[in-house]
Each structure stands twice: as C-alpha cells, then as structure tokens.
Structure 1
C-alpha cells in the first residue's frame, strides 16, 4: 500500500543511509548523495507526513540573503544563489526542470540607534570581503531611493539588491525529491519510534509499526522534531519549535516601486509579494516553544504590533487589508540560532541537520551538499562547515551570527 506515491513498507531490511525527515533538507541530502559519483549505496527517506502539510518547508516565505555577520553564512548563501540561478544545469540539464531566478528586491535592514548601526557596518565589511554587493545608506539616501519610508528615527540602512530576495523554494524541493526518487532513493511513509544502538552507533531505526530497519548512517533531518529524534540516540539537542506568523496584505494605495524585504528595528519584516500585494512576518514579544502541531494564529498580534509597525514605517500603508495569513514554525536553536551539522562525536554514525532558526531554506544547497560529502567522504570537500559541528554545544562555544530574523 502507498501514501501519495510513498511506500508504507521498506523494500529492504537495511540501507546504507537512512534519512529521518523528507522535507527540504532530507530530500536535499538524498539528492546530493545521488549526485556524488563516489556514492553507489542505498538511501531510505522516512517521512511521517507525505502531505508535508505541517512541515517548515510548506510554510516558508522562501527568501535568500547574503547579509549575515559571519563570513561562512555569507559564503553559504552565495553558493545558494548560484545554485538557484543555475538550477537546471545543476540538475543535470534535465529539460523538465524549470529555469529559476531570484526576484532581487533586496533586504533593507534599518538601524535606529548607533549600536545597531555599528553592527551593520561591521557586517558590511564581512559581506564585502566575501564578494557581496551590500551597500550602506544614510537616512537621506534611503529617503531619496525609497521615498515611501518614514526615516525620522533611522541612523543607517543596509541593502543588497544582488542575489537577495524571493526564490521558488517549493520547486527546488519538488525536484530534489522527484529526482532523488528517479535515481533510486526510496521514500517511506512512516514514523520513527526508536533508534537501536550498539557499540556506540545506531544499528537500526525502529518504526512505530515495530519494524526495525538496519542502517549504516542516520541523518536527523526531522525539522522541529529534531530534538525528539536526537533523544532516541540519547543526545540532548537544543532545538525546539517556535511559532512564526505571516500575513499577505493589499494596500489601498500601493507603492509605485518594489518594496525590499524590510527588517524594521522592531523585528517586524515586510516585503513585496505580488504586483499588488505584500507580505509581513513577525512573532510575539513572548516567544515560547510550542507544540509540534500548534499552528493557531494570534489575531491580536496583527492589530497590536504588526500593522502599527508597518503603518509607522510606511505611512502610505495606513489603509491595508489582510488577504490571507498563516502560522509556521522555526526549528529554533536556543543555543546560538545557527545550524547544527555533521556527525555526533560519540554516536559517530548519527548526523545532524537541525536548528536553522529561520534561514534554513536558503542554506539547503550548501548544507545539503556538505552533509552528503560528510556521509560519502568522511569530511567536507567544498565549504568547510565544521564550525556548525555539535561539539561547539558540548564545549559551550557558540557560533555567533548577529543577523537572525
């Protein structure tokens, strides 16, 4: 029996690589494994919900930026942009695969005090050194280029309109999954209940049906459930689901030019969505962990925080109307808000792909490729992603990134 084309019974009793979670990251790793000429092993992807209705991938706003404060994160996004723009070529020139692009309306960070302005200057230096096209703008320069902003309180802005903006993450995910399956990756509709360990390694993945599947290596690509999966291996992982809200709205007086993805000093962000619509995002000031299946909207948040912030920053948006709204989840790394990647130092065949804290989708090409390199070669071959390793958590040494939205 199958669920949406997924098998509900594994074809084999063991696999070289078992990936727990089949959304963007699980499918990305699966595809990059099949794309490595040195890999000829078997891969099983286990996904508890083949509809993907509640996964983070389904609720993403699908943007990419190079404006990070850590040079490695800048390099990761630069590769991501290159991968998106050359997507068909990267997928082997398959003419079924669409040509993709990035809608480069850019990210506009706005600083309303000297401390944040200095942070933008420091990040600008990092981004420029990595080859990003970020520009710093004074309040007067912002007003001249984007006259719809109220910049009375703004000290400095930072924007990059090269390889920063919206991209079609859903299509990339679809083709990662489709191509991986065509190349022999097996997708299973099922839920992992336990991991069986022996000799310091995971020897089998046990499903809720009781069936045990042998494995050479295991990848935890469980999204917001990453900590639950890690706990099955006796590992404490500082990742939890945090609710993030999105609204699509129209304006009685639309802007006469594209709206960059604007990160207001309040933390509220908003951008162009369609020709006559805009997208806003944010979260409540109290930001607790939530249940995995809690996607209830906070309607008061729009009235009390999001709309007033938008109308203050863009007075032309005093009269706006919500078209649609939804809640999604970040797989939030409470330790340092950055990805946790690579093998565990003790359970050495258990690999992490967790804790992206909102910038995971744009990092999939580089981190999916890197994870596949680690699985096949035992080390990173392109970008050195070792700073994301789990050992930083046990050592209490955070991987710092200031630009987290």
Structure 2
C-alpha cells in the first residue's frame, strides 16, 4: 500500500474517488475540455494500482453486445485506441496503438442461445459492426482446431474486436491529466457530509476535510462502499473472476479468437505461443467477496477449466500454466450494465460504476461522457441517459445480455 498524501487545497470543483481506468479517463477528458477551467482532485487509495480491476483486466474489446448503445460505446473505444496520438494532441511521445483483431467467437450449443446470437447480430449490424454468423461446418473450415460436434451456431466479428493495450492508454491518461493540472493524491475517502441535497465535503483517512463542487464515484468494485458514504444504496458488488495464462505443447498455427464456450469458460490468444483463459467460480460460489480477497481457486483449473479447453480444442490436451490471478468484476446485480450520471436527489454525486466486466473497453466513452456531464450538465457525444440511476429506483432494467 502506498504512503498516504495530503491534498494541496481544501476545496476542489471536482473530486474523483478512484484513480484507475475510469477515474483517469474522466480526469483526462475533463482536463482537455475547453469549457472546464476548474480544479480537479483524484483520490486513489493505492497508487501502485496492483489490486485494481485495471491491473487484473484481460484487456479485450468487442462490438458483440445485445444493445446498440454498448456497441457504439465500444466503437468509440476502438477509434480512440487506434488514434490515441491524435486524440492527445499529436504528442509524439504517445505511442501509436492498434487492436489485435482476432475477434470474439461465441459458440451456441442450443437453439435458444443461437437465437440470442441471431438477435444480437441484427443489433450489431444496424450499428455498423461486421458480425458474422457461422454454422458448425463454417467454423470448422475457418478454424480446424475446434471440436464443433455440439455447436449449433457461432458468432464472430473481426473488425475492432480483440486485444488492445489498456495499460498504455491508462498510463497516458494519468500522465497527461497530471500535466494538465489534475492533482492525484494517494489517500482514502472515509466519510461524506451531505446537506441540502449535495455532498458538501469529503473526509480523508488522514483527517483532512475536502470541500467539493461535484464528486465522481469511480471506485470500481468498491463503488457501493463509496455510495454508502453519501447514504446511497448501489447494487454493485465485487465478484471474483479467475485468469490463467498457459502455454501449449502443440501451439496453434493461427490466432485463437476469444472463444466463449457454452460452459462460460473463455480463452484466447495471448502471445505468439501463449494463451489466456478466464472464467467465474462455480455458480453457487459466484457471490460478493471482500474487496481485498484475491485468493485463487486452484482446483477450478484442474477440475473445470482445463478439461473444457481440451475438449473444445483437442490440440490443447497438453498445456501448462505460466501464471494465474484472481480479479474482481464490479458486478451490477440489477441489470449487469453501467450506472452513470448524477443521483436524482444528491445532485452533485455522479456515478461511474457497475461495468460488470466490460469496463475497460467502455472507459474512453464513459470518461468522455462523465466529463461532459460535469461541465455541461448533459451528454453531448453519446446519449448515456439509459444508464442513469433512476432506472434502479424505478425498477426498469437496461439489461446487457452479452456478459462474459
């Protein structure tokens, strides 16, 4: 844990609680907004970020969502990644990045899920994605290494879908935001003073009381804890997810798409000769965990994940774990979609929460949208109103079906 620091001032126009991917995206977009000339403080409890969701991400991007808004959010992410230097003012220090477009391969083993893939494809095509539906025979012709005896239908998109370097984007957002005057401190928010429908101040663990014009909850899996300081119940909880990097005795001779097996286990290319696999605990064990719990379930690989991988790709009968880790989804139990924008009653408390595993790829659009809200009181680029907190209080879900 990093040593705590004291903010330079006692009053800020915007205070962002959480300095990882979402917090830094918001800070950067805010700092580059020509209509914002105020002060911004980012409070991050651990500036090493080693236990953040950003550090534990599998860093992928896809267009294959079930609602159009999520497709368009990822389309902006793809444009941002591919043109990051231009977005950052042509700074030649900023590296030129791209997306490794091996695509996501969804596999359906029953007619019900096949119909979901067909419905999702129509949404995706209407938004400009290039999703293709493949029969088992067509999958086998393109990717001979798969076993497809149980497959009814597959879905894949090879445009702006695959791996991207989220770590580099995060580093440059943070670095550039600081260059633009955003102050980052290592500290922890422990209390909020709410009066007259606004958060008036935030108390830090080191004792300082910081007054704020607006506060952004970018606390990842701890988002509900931050909301609770303002007396708000937020249906977001840390859910554990496991990742393994493995090598194969017989590597494939073509890139492995990010394959979503009907079992829920997923696996993809990770390097020239290594692969990544991920998955949740057993359904009965997929419960909220302590935000500090990163314990691996070592039996999960041997008893569940590896047999599924070897069955789907017989060439992976002999594989070896290189490294493994546990991370957390900021899981929205209400509808598995983001919660964004201001609270309807505590009007300067702004949500940036509940991304349920697809937050990294949504961070460019969500940071831009949050900055627009903070400066203009409305969304200017994409209308993010469907993500508003009001849907939770009214009980109207905005569900995303394509959750991995």
Q: TM-score scaled to structure 1, two decimals?
A: 0.98
Aligned counterparts of 1:325 and 1:5: Cα–Cα separation in 2: 24
Distance 1:366 1:223 in 2: 16
Q: 2-side partners of 1:90 and 1:287: how far apart?
A: 39
**Matched residue, 1:349:** 348
Residue 340 of structure 1 deviates from its aligned partner by 0.4
Cα distance, 1:78–1:6 mapped onto 2, change above 3 Å: farther
Equivalenced residue count is 402
Q: Does 1:360 align with 2:363?
A: no
Q: Which of 73, 76, 82 is equivalent to 1:76? A: 73
What is aligned with 2:258? 261
Mark the runs of 5 or more structure 1 residues left unpaired by the alignment.
none
Within-5 A mapping of 1:58-137? 58-137=55-134
Counterpart Cα distance in 2 of 1:290 and 1:153 = 34
| Cα shift readout 1:260-318 (whole Å, capped 9, x = no counterpart) | 00000000000000000000000122201111111011000001110010001001111
Partner of 2:187: 190
**1:401 positional shift:** 1.1
1:10 Cα deviation after fit: 1.1
Q: CA shift at 1:237, angstroms?
A: 0.3
In the TM superposition, what is the alpha-carbon distance from 1:335 to its structure 2 partner? 0.6
Per the alignment, residue 212 of structure 2 pairs with 215
- Supply the distance in 2 between the matched residues of 1:275 and 1:166 (Cα, whole angstroms): 13
Rounded to whole Å, the distance in 2 between the matches of 1:66 and 1:234 is 36
Q: What are the residue-to-residue correspondences of 1:217-236 with 2, within 5 Å?
A: 217-236=214-233
State the Cα deviation string for residues 132-151 of structure 1 (Å, max 9, x = none): 01100000000000000000
Larger deviation: 280-289 or 182-191? Answer: 280-289
Matched with 1:398 is 397
**Residues 19 and 218 in structure 1, CA contact (< 8 A), matched pair in contact too:** yes
Structure 2 CA distance for aligned equivalents of residues 102 and 271 of structure 1:
14
User: Once the two structures are superposed, what CA deviation does each residue of 1:44-86 show, in whole Å capped at 9, x if it has no partner?
Assistant: 0000001111000000000000000100000000111001000
- Compute the displacement of 1:232 (Å): 0.5
C-alpha deviation, 1:6, in angstroms: 8.9
The whole-number CA distance in structure 2 between the counterparts of 1:400 and 1:185 is: 34
Residue 5 of structure 1: how far off its partner (Å): 10
Q: Distance in 2 between matches of 1:343 and 1:15?
A: 18
CA distance in 2, matches of 1:293, 1:52: 13
Give the one of 176, 180, 202 matched to 1:179: 176
Residues 249-398 of structure 1: matches in 2 within 5 Å?
249-285=246-282, 286-398=285-397
Structure 2 CA distance for aligned equivalents of residues 7 and 15 of structure 1: 19
Contiguous gaps of at least 5 residues in structure 2: none
| Residue from 39, 46, 66 that aligns with 1:42 | 39
Aligned to 1:179, the other structure's residue is in SS state helix
CA distance in 1 between counterparts of 2:11 and 2:70 reads 35
Give me the CA root mean square deviation.
Answer: 1.1
Q: Provide the rounded CA distance (Å) in 2 between the counterparts of 1:253 and 1:7.
A: 48
Conservation of the 8 A alpha-carbon contact between 2:268 and 2:276: yes
Q: Which runs of 4+ in 1 moved over 6 A?
A: 4-7
Say yes or no: does 1:19 pair with 2:16: yes
TM-score (norm. length: structure 2):
0.98
Residue 400 of structure 1 deviates from its aligned partner by: 1.5
- Cα distance between partner residues in 2 of 1:72 and 1:340: 13
Counterpart-to-counterpart distance in 2, 1:331 and 1:91? 28
Name the CA distance, whole Å, in 1 between partners of 2:66 and 2:197. Answer: 37
Q: Tell me the distance in 2 between the aligned counterparts of 1:75 and 1:240.
A: 26
Q: Is the 8 A contact 2:224 2:237 kept in 1?
A: yes
2:25 counterpart (23, 28, 46): 28
CA contact (8 A) 1:6 1:187 kept: no
